[in-house]
């Protein structure tokens, strides 16, 4: 039995059996392959754009001054699966948001931050290569925008270089602003790539939402018929709609869906999909073609037609709904729906950008209240900019009509998919697996919800927003969540700036700032400390708080020495062991592998506190005989895991206040190693580079 099967047996035991119970049907579970996974990511779709999240409330109220739209397929998906009502994006704009999703790390660690469009995604673990190593065939379809500088096929971070076996879509971020790639009706012709070949010349009248859906369907159909069908697949399906130019489809969405209906790949140059006919940018959904509203909120005056801009917006959202319904039907037709996990979400909140000609009404998200019951839009760190509509469907595994109210964030998906595949996630990830919340099996660890972002300008002056949120200077922004309490900072000048604190469970619009109440003073300090302890500065995305010293912790119950834990298992990477149970636990003076603990396990964790003598900047050095990883607090200091050259020295700097700082070191110890090398050194104020001494290491009593 290979290690994928061994790992999957462990997964089935955790998902399908009671905690600490013996799984009686493990052998039966092994007959089922690891589940397929499809991650559907929309572009600028707001929390309030979906019926089940908000539009149904408007429909029920039937206020003619508050127009509404329909999403029947997504609403049906939600009733069959889980609504994740407290799910956040990692950043309020697409490039950093998508980078955090793919890398499984927060904006405190991602190499793509702020508005760094087309920057190369870091060469490290991604959802793609993690699932490849777990035995999956992987495909990315749609918008990429993280390729880096280079000419065409030489992009350093091409999807094929970041863990995907197949790619079809827009490579460049800006190409995603246009939804007819060949005609380029409003933003000019664009390039579409299949793997490393440019293919746009044959894409006459191909509306991208339909095109990506047709390609996805064709790839899945071919895969299920092919020689690798016994292996599971993972698909990253990244739509470029409803963002940017509000171009309409050519015609109605074809009836039905799945194998015989819906959009279909024809493969004929000039007519590549079955909706590549008719007139481009022409078809308005009949539900909205003649829609009217009470524009002046006066029932005595005649209603007027919706502005064309919003007919377009409603049609595009409805088109996404049809495309997702088409895919769901395909899984049913192929009889793989019960073994396929589908995640539907958005990269950030709704946009007020439309890229339409000047004679069009601006595409303001307050027409449909696309931000839902919140304030804020794309580029805001209010809930409306960060809370995204998220649905999970996995028949017989995720209960129907489930509402997940625990907070989570988009970099949780990498560890979630790793666990679905049967593995603990890489130690590098900042996320946690959401499987316990989705399946009701096991104990859910708390997500670490943290966002940072920089954007010049001010927030919109929408009448639906609380006056305190209108025309607010943005600049450096942060958001952090503790339970139901959210801390928000705009125009951050220093690490000492106070957070505005809101109870978003009872106050989703974030109107009542609790920061002035003395009972929240401890939480205020906790938030200020936390946002320094979970991140690393990035010279290409400077922050006003980069030079702040990371606070120490107060702990009067520590003793000398550190704890070591050994874990058994076969892992393709250095795992995050907090989801695993140790087989041996002990106390040692130093984070080393010696005769007292050598070969006790396949992976080790050293945990404790390092006592820093004075405030200052410290550099830590690590040399390892195999994979290793070090965190101080939750900040990733040394990554000697991915593509690490054994025996080389790695270093990381961090500014620390005097006092106790918790640390974790993970270390992989294959028994074949004759010398289990793990050397840790440091230097700092008045400290020349030297080995870390046992005199400054402690653990909880």
Compute the Cα dihedral for 324, 327, 331, 333 and give only its sign: positive
* Contact in structure between 288 and 261 (CB atoms under 8 Å): no
User: What's the pLDDT score for residue 394?
Assistant: 98
Least confident interval from 28-32, 91-95, 281-285: 28-32
- The answer to whether 451-533 and 558-700 have equal CATH topology is no
The two beta strands, 340-346 and 304-305, are: unpaired
pLDDT bucket at 219, cuts 50 / 70 / 90: very high
CATH class entry, domain 33-443: alpha beta
Condensed to tens digits (0 to 9), the pLDDT of residues 328-344 reads: 999 999 999 999 999 99
* Of residues 370, 336, 310, 459, the one with CA closest to residue 42: 370
The two beta strands, 137-143 and 166-170, are: parallel
The two beta strands, 628-632 and 659-668, are: antiparallel
Which distant-in-sequence residues (6+ apart) come within 8 Å of 59 by Cβ? 51, 68, 70
Is the model's pLDDT at 58 over the cut of 80? yes
CA dist., res. 429 & res. 551, Å (int) = 22
Fold (topology level) of 558-700: Toxin - Anthrax Protective Antigen; domain 1 (3.90.182)
Q: Which residue do the tokens 């550190």 mark? A: 562
pLDDT bucket at 670, cuts 50 / 70 / 90: low
* Contact in structure between 115 and 543 (CB atoms under 8 Å): no
Q: Which two tokens stand for residue 700?
A: 């909880």
Buried b (16+ CB within 10 A) or exposed e, 113-140: bbbbbbbbbbebbbbbbbbbbbbbbbbb
Condensed to tens digits (0 to 9), the pLDDT of residues 351-379 reads: 998 777 777 888 899 999 999 999 999 99
CATH class entry, domain 451-533: alpha beta
Give percent of the chain above pLDDT 70.
Answer: 94
Condensed to tens digits (0 to 9), the pLDDT of residues 508-522 reads: 999 999 999 999 999
User: What's the pLDDT score for residue 152?
Assistant: 77
Is the model's pLDDT at 2 over the cut of 60? no
Strand arrangement of the beta sheet that strand 687-691 belongs to: 649-656, 616-624, 678-684, 687-691
Is the model's pLDDT at 350 over the cut of 60? yes
Sort 276 into a burial class: Cβ within 10 Å, 0-12 / 13-18 / 19+: buried
Condensed to tens digits (0 to 9), the pLDDT of residues 153-174 reads: 799 999 999 999 999 999 999 9
Which distant-in-sequence residues (6+ apart) come within 8 Å of 634 by Cβ? 430, 448, 533, 534
User: What's the pLDDT score for residue 675?
Assistant: 58
Condensed to tens digits (0 to 9), the pLDDT of residues 243-257 reads: 988 999 999 999 999
Give percent of the chain above pLDDT 90.
Answer: 86
User: What's the pLDDT score for residue 598?
Assistant: 76
User: What's the pLDDT score for residue 358?
Assistant: 74
CA dist., res. 513 & res. 507, Å (int) = 10
Average pLDDT over residues 250-268: 97
The mean pLDDT value of the chain amounts to 92
CA dist., res. 638 & res. 220, Å (int) = 39
Cis before residue 538, ω within 30 degrees of 0? no
Strand partners, 569: none
Which distant-in-sequence residues (6+ apart) come within 8 Å of 408 by Cβ? 84, 86, 87, 88, 434, 437, 447, 449
CA dist., res. 628 & res. 669, Å (int) = 9
Instruction: Using DSSP, state whether 590 is helix, strand or coil.
Output: coil
User: What's the pLDDT score for residue 674?
Assistant: 54
In the chain, where are the structural domains located?
1-30, 33-443, 451-533, 558-700
Is the model's pLDDT at 288 over the cut of 60? yes
Tell how far CA 701 is from the center of its chain: 37
CA dist., res. 210 & res. 179, Å (int) = 10
User: What's the pLDDT score for residue 101?
Assistant: 98
User: What's the pLDDT score for residue 87?
Assistant: 98
The two beta strands, 402-404 and 197-198, are: unpaired
Compute the Cα dihedral for 687, 689, 694, 700 and give only its sign: positive
* Of residues 552, 543, 496, the one with CA closest to residue 524: 496
User: What's the pLDDT score for residue 30?
Assistant: 34
Least confident interval from 449-458, 496-505, 522-531, 640-649: 640-649
* Contact in structure between 99 and 114 (CB atoms under 8 Å): no
Buried b (16+ CB within 10 A) or exposed e, 176-207: bbbbbbbbbebbeebebbeeeeeebeebbbbb
């Amino acid at each position: 039995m290979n290690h994928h099967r061994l790992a999957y047996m462990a997964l089935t035991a955790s998902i399908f059996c009671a905690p600490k119970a013996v799984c009686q049907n493990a052998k039966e579970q092994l007959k089922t392959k690891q589940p397929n996974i499809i991650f559907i990511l929309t572009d600028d779709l707001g929390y309030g754009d979906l019926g089940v999240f908000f539009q149904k409330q408007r429909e029920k109220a039937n206020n003619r001054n508050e127009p509404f739209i329909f999403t029947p397929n997504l609403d049906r998906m939600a009733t069959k699966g889980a609504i994740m009502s407290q799910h956040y994006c990692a950043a309020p704009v697409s490039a950093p948001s998508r980078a955090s999703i793919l890398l499984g790390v927060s904006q405190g660690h991602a190499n793509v931050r702020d508005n760094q469009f087309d920057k190369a995604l870091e060469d490290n673990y991604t959802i793609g290569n993690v699932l490849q190593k777990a035995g999956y065939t992987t495909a990315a379809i749609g918008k990429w925008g993280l390729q880096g500088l280079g000419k065409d096929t030489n992009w350093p971070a091409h999807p094929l270089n970041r863990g995907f076996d197949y790619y079809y879509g827009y490579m460049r971020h800006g190409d995603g602003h246009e939804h007819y790639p060949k005609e380029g009706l409003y933003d000019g012709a664009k390039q579409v790539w299949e793997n490393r070949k440019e293919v746009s010349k044959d894409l006459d009248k191909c509306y991208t939402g339909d095109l990506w859906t047709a390609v996805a369907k064709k790839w899945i159909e071919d895969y299920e018929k092919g020689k690798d069908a016994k292996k599971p697949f993972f698909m990253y399906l990244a739509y470029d709609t409803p963002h940017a130019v509000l171009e309409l489809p050519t015609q109605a969405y074809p009836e039905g869906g799945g194998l015989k209906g819906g959009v279909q790949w024809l493969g004929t140059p000039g007519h590549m999909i079955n909706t590549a006919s008719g007139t481009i940018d022409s078809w308005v959904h009949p539900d909205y073609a003649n829609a009217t509203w009470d524009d002046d909120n006066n029932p005595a005056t005649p209603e007027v037609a919706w502005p064309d801009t919003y007919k377009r917006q409603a049609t595009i959202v409805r088109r996404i709904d049809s495309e997702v319904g088409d895919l769901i039907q395909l899984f049913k037709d192929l009889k793989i729906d019960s073994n396929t996990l589908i995640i539907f979400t958005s990269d950030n909140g709704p946009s007020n950008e439309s890229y339409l000609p000047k004679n069009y009404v601006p595409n303001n998200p307050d027409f449909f209240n696309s931000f839902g019951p919140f304030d804020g839009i794309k580029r805001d760190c209010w809930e409306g900019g960060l809370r995204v509509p998220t649905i999970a469907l996995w028949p017989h595994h995720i209960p129907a009509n489930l509402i997940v109210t625990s907070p989570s964030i988009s970099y949780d998906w990498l560890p979630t998919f790793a666990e679905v595949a049967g593995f603990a996630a890489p130690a590098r990830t900042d996320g946690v697996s959401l499987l316990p919340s989705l399946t009701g099996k096991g104990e859910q660890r708390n997500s670490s919800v943290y966002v940072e972002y920089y954007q010049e300008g001010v927030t919109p002056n929408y009448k639906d927003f609380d006056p305190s949120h209108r025309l607010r200077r943005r600049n450096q922004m942060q958001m952090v969540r503790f339970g139901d309490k959210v801390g928000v900072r705009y125009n951050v000048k220093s690490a000492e700036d106070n957070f505005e604190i809101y109870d978003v469970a009872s106050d989703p619009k974030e109107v009542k700032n609790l920061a002035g109440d003395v009972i929240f003073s401890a939480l205020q300090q906790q938030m200020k400390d936390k946002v320094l302890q979970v991140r690393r500065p990035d010279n290409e995305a400077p922050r006003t708080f980069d030079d702040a010293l990371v606070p120490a912790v107060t702990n009067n119950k520590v003793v000398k020495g550190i704890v070591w834990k050994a874990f058994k298992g076969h892992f393709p990477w250095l795992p995050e062991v907090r989801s695993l149970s140790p087989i041996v636990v002990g106390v040692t003076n130093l984070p080393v592998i010696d005769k007292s603990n050598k070969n006790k396990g396949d992976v080790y964790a050293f945990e404790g506190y390092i006592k820093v003598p004075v405030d200052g900047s410290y550099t830590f050095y690590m040399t390892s005989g195999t994979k290793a990883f070090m965190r101080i607090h939750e900040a990733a200091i040394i990554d000697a895991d991915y593509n690490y050259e054994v025996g080389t020295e790695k270093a990381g700097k961090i500014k620390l206040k005097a006092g106790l700082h918790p640390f974790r070191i993970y270390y992989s110890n294959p028994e074949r190693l004759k010398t289990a090398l793990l050397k840790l050194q440091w230097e700092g104020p008045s400290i020349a580079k030297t080995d870390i001494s046992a005199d400054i290491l402690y653990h909880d009593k």
